[in-house]
Amino acid sequence: MSYQIYYGKQFVRLSDGRFIPMTLDGSNNCTFMHKGKEIRERDWNCRDYYFRTLGKGEFFATSKDILESVQVFINNVVDNALKSNYRNETETEETIKNQFGYYSGESFGGGCSKLSASRYYTFFKNGIKNALTIEELHNLGIHLKFSFFRWHDYELTVNPPTPKQIETETDFFNELTKWKNFKETCIITEQRENGKTFHPSIYLHYSEPFDFILYQLKNRNPKKELEPIFISQDYFYVLQNEKGFFAGYCRYGYNYTYSVNSRTKFFESEKQVQAYLSKIKYDKQTWKIVCINEKKDFKHYKQVA
């Protein structure tokens, strides 16, 4: 069975709040030579087809549109699996979501059935959260480029633009205009199919070798680009049950303190403590959110100019 393997991601953040979803992926049954070894093929691609098919953009979209379109894709895969004539009686909606990769033909490594729908969705959510600007990528030696795929002989009415290394957001939109004009004006004549004609498709990639990009991203230290600041407020939140105040998880449950002290887990806002509470596994129903009206400093980070 042929399926797509995802090896990494590095989304791009634009100044207007939209994102370019870039992923490193390739087919499991195609290989190429890399540094003298035959490995499964992979390349950096823009995963815009989720929102493009819904008419919500091309190459980039808002975080809301990206995540909503990914959820639509997940729902469609689940619905099609439920309606399939080959469906087994044991295949419920829950089992399909838990083994989502098997039905979508995708894997994050370790087999398709191990990829759940929730992990698939989180992949894109984290990509948005950890996106870098074009300028930040340029500082790492990583650059976007446009191209179009040439699979065999055909004639072009217009020559494609020369691919250019994109170093700034201005470069990106200038190049996008050039390549979209090429796509709209160029007509391809297919030599192998009796003169069939069509417009070319354009693609967005990273231009550097995939292993170089992975190395640069892995060895990037974002803490060096941030500096700590402390924000003081006159209150904070804690979790309390009949035993005491929540301090943190341990191997066989959780730790707690008899009074609010330095070992107690502090929260900056009620929203933050509610989010944490939703993840607690032990005695979840016993914990109550308590607001303490005392001064507390919370550590944040800001970008170094």
Q: Which residues of 92-108 are buried (b: 16+ CB within 10 A; e: fewer)?
A: eeeebbbbbbbbbebbb
231 lies in some domain: yes
Given pLDDT bands bounded at 50, 70 and 90, which one contains residue 225?
low
Residue 219 lies in a domain: no
* 166 is a domain residue: yes
Whether residues 175 and 66 share a domain: the answer is no
Q: Are residues 256 and 198 in the same domain?
A: no
Task: Single out the residue in 129, 155, 181 at which a domain terminates.
Answer: 129
Q: Who wins on pLDDT, 255 or 217?
A: 217
CB atoms within 10 A of CB 13: 20
Counted domains in the chain: 3
For residue 197, is it within any domain? yes
Cα distances from 129 to residues 46, 112, 122, in angstroms, run: 17, 25, 10
In this prediction, residue 222 has a pLDDT band, given cuts at 50, 70 and 90, of: low
* DSSP output for 60-81: BEEHHHHHHHHHHHHHHHHHHH
pLDDT for position 151: 63
Over range 109-136, report the average pLDDT. 94
Structure tokens at 215: 């190395």
Residue 223 is predicted with a pLDDT of 58
- For residues 78 and 110, membership in a common domain is answered with yes
Domain boundary among 202, 219, 249: 202
Per the rule left: phi > 0, alpha: psi between -120 and 50, beta: everything else, 129 is: alpha
**By C-alpha distance, which of 75, 124, 127 is closest to 104?**
75
| Local confidence band at 105 (pLDDT 50, 70, 90 cut-offs) | very high
Residue 144 exposed, middle or buried by CB count within 10 Å (0-12, 13-18, 19+): buried
In terms of Cβ atoms closer than 10 Å to its own Cβ (0-12, 13-18, 19+), residue 120 is buried
Residues 100 and 171 in one domain: no
- Residues 19, 100, single domain; the answer is yes
- Do 21 and 123 lie in a common domain? yes
Residue 45 lies in a domain: yes
Same domain? For 176 and 70 the reply is: no
Asked whether the beta carbons of 187 and 160 are under 8 A apart, the reply is no
- Looking at residue 12, what is its pLDDT? 97
Q: Is 177 in the same domain as 235?
A: no
Residue 211 lies in a domain: no
pTM: 0.72
Q: Are residues 279 and 299 in the same domain?
A: yes
Neighbours of 69 (CB within 10 A): 23
Give the C-alpha separation, 194 to 288, whole Å: 73
Say yes or no to pLDDT of 102 above 80: yes
User: Does 222 reside within a domain?
Assistant: no
Question: Which residue did the predictor score with more confidence, 225 or 41?
Answer: 41
**111 pLDDT tier (thresholds 50, 70, 90):** confident
| 43-79 per-position pLDDT tens digit | 999 999 999 999 988 899 999 999 999 999 999 999 9
- Residue 258 and residue 173 in one domain: no
Q: What is the mean pLDDT of residues 71-88?
A: 93
Dihedral-angle region of residue 36 (phi above 0 means left; psi in -120 to 50 means alpha; beta otherwise): left
- Residue 243: what are its φ and ψ, rounded to 5°? -85, -35
> Is residue 209 assigned to a domain?
no
In the chain, the largest separation of any two C-alpha atoms, in whole Å, equals: 82
Do 146 and 67 have their domain in common?
no
Q: Which domain holds residue 286?
A: 227-303
Residues 155, 272 within the same domain: no
* Single residue among 129, 150, 181 that ends a domain in this structure: 129
